[in-house]
Amino acid sequence: MYIPNPPSESATFVSVHSLAAAPIPHLPTPTSCETFYQNLLDMHNYSHSSLTTLVNYHFSNPRDTGLLRSTRSFNFLVSLALRQAAFGTAARLLDAMKAESVLPNLETWKLTVRWLVRTGRWDEAMRRVQRVMRRERWPEELGLRSGHQDGLPLPLWMEFFGSLKRGALRRWVKIPQRRGDGWKSANFRCVVLQTSTVSGPVQVSRYRSLMNMFPLVASPEYSQLPPRAVFFIAEAMIQLGNHVKALESTSLYFQTLPRRLSRRQQHAVLDIIHLHIRAVTEKSGLGRHFAQRRVISHLLSAHPGIRPSSKTLFLILASLRSCKRCGTLAMKCLKTFRTRWGPRTESSVVRRRIASLSIKEGRP
């Protein structure tokens, strides 16, 4: 598949054969950027058009006649290309956007960082963002609103927590073929390189760079993050040894959640709480046990709709294993949880853990 760079008015992103195989469905003639973008959405949502068809339609209208291509239409196609791991198409779309002098916005920068991170160029993505932020009018260059506070916007900062996409990097290797009495290298084959794991020191260095650019958690953007994203933020802070900051940022995030949480949100929020329980650094025994209970109380007090589960109780009971009266203390802890949060905190795995602790204490 060949894509000219930058694309001309008549240029397409695929060959003629691909166009014949994926014709553009009949659509109303666009008269503005909004109707043109709506046509793209309709092709994707209702006609189930392929990425190739969408890109060809996007560049079938000359730029200088209708000014139909816009930042939003480019962002939509780049996002779709990244979702399908079409990284070459995403790169050429970004190049075409720059060639046509279409101004980027925050969404464009997010997609650019996502493309670089998923293709293994994390450091280059960081250099690009830092280079822009050193300029005087960097908020305008990142497409931010005039009322934005200092610091990297949180949605853009979160993109750096992505990872190398499996299958993003390919390499062509020679395949030796045996002909007659000897071997001869004849064909080439595309080999998908496996996702490489980043070494520990490099990962820590990246996390430290991110924490130095950590946005203000009091910003409205922080409340719009999904719980999974907050989980990764807290995990990064904990890995860097900043447990207090991780606990404070999580508590502030819980305060921004809606009063009524769905079941899915409840599970995601409890995953964050369990992360903090496992991260308690006190030595095993009563000190660790009560430190974990303080963490739970602090986080639960931030939102009245969060309730601990049986897994929460199961995790904190493990710290009693080294205590002399482990079974008795475990039973008291169960009664406290059951009285305060109901019988849902008790389960078969909790009862088995209490039974094993009771046997260890000598009170079967």
Cβ atoms of 57 and 39 closer than 8 Å: yes
Question: What is the pLDDT averaged over residues 11-38?
Answer: 64
Decide if pLDDT at 211 tops 80. Answer: no
Q: What confidence tier does 47 reach under pLDDT thresholds 50, 70, 90?
A: confident
Dump pLDDT digits (tens) for 72-81: 999 999 999 9
pTM: 0.67
Question: What is the pLDDT averaged over residues 219-227?
Answer: 72
The structure tokens listed for 235 are: 């995990």
Decide if pLDDT at 114 tops 50. Answer: yes
Distance of CA 158 to the CA centre of its chain: 7
Decide if pLDDT at 187 tops 70. Answer: no
Please count the other Cβ atoms lying within 10 Å of the Cβ belonging to residue 280: 20
CATH code linked to domain 200-361: 1.25.40
**101 Ramachandran zone, left/alpha/beta (phi>0; psi -120 to 50):** left
Handedness of CA 348, 353, 354, 360 (dihedral sign): positive
Amino acid at position 205, single letter: S
The structure tokens listed for 157 are: 């900062």
Dump pLDDT digits (tens) for 79-88: 999 999 999 9
| DSSP single-letter state for residue 86 | -
Decide if pLDDT at 15 tops 70. Answer: no
The structure tokens listed for 300 are: 């639960």
| DSSP single-letter state for residue 194 | P
Q: Which DSSP string do the residues of 5-35 spell out, in sequence order?
A: SS--TT--SS-HHHHHHSPPPP-PPP-SHHH
* Domain edges within the chain: 16-160, 200-361
Q: What confidence tier does 45 reach under pLDDT thresholds 50, 70, 90?
A: confident
